[in-house]
Amino acid sequence: MKRLLSIAGFVVGLAAIGLGQTSMTPNLQNAPARKSPLAGYAGAWIGTFEGHPWLTIRLTEQGAQMSGTVQRQKDLKFNDQGEIKSVGEEQSTGAVESSVLNGDGLLLTVKDSDTQQTERYQMRLTSADTAEIKMVAMSMPPGMSKPKPWKVSRIVANAVTPVR
């Protein structure tokens, strides 16, 4: 009889443990997945001037970093208000060497594949599919306004046309 009671107690104990585990599983399955703070920046982005693409950014999340490319026209001219007034024909392509998420957005360090010079860009999300980007430490002639941030929009990766 003692043996039967101990076996019954053991079975009831196992059932209670099993029931406790299965009752937690649905709660864990419905828990929201933790999204990386970099995830919002991943994707293809394009900036246009007078209806033509002049800036293309492709970013991919790689753990705690972003990798990708920045392709843009080299020669940019600005008006007195810091807005782009013209873009040149020659283009520059650079690889993202590093990225740092800071209080102002995502700081990208990009190395030009031709000149090997490094440029830094600050990208700030303004919505899920729009952002502003500006060059950090861009030198301007005396008396000229600092350039305003460039507006870029997220696009479907397959729809990106290379900058010409």
Residue 80, pLDDT score: 84
Helix (H, G, I), strand (E, B) or coil at 6: helix
Mean pLDDT of 83-90: 90
Residue 51 phi, psi (nearest 5): 80, 0
Cα–Cα distance measured from residue 46 to residue 10, given in angstroms and rounded to the nearest whole number = 65
pLDDT level of residue 8 (50, 70, 90 thresholds): very low
Q: Is 12's pLDDT higher than 80?
A: no
Residue 37, pLDDT score: 87
Q: Residue 23: what residue type?
A: S
Among residues 85, 76, 51, the alpha carbon closest in space to that of 138 is found at 76
Contact in structure between 117 and 137 (CB atoms under 8 Å): no
pLDDT in tens, 104-162: 999 999 999 888 999 999 999 999 999 999 988 766 666 667 788 999 999 975 554 55
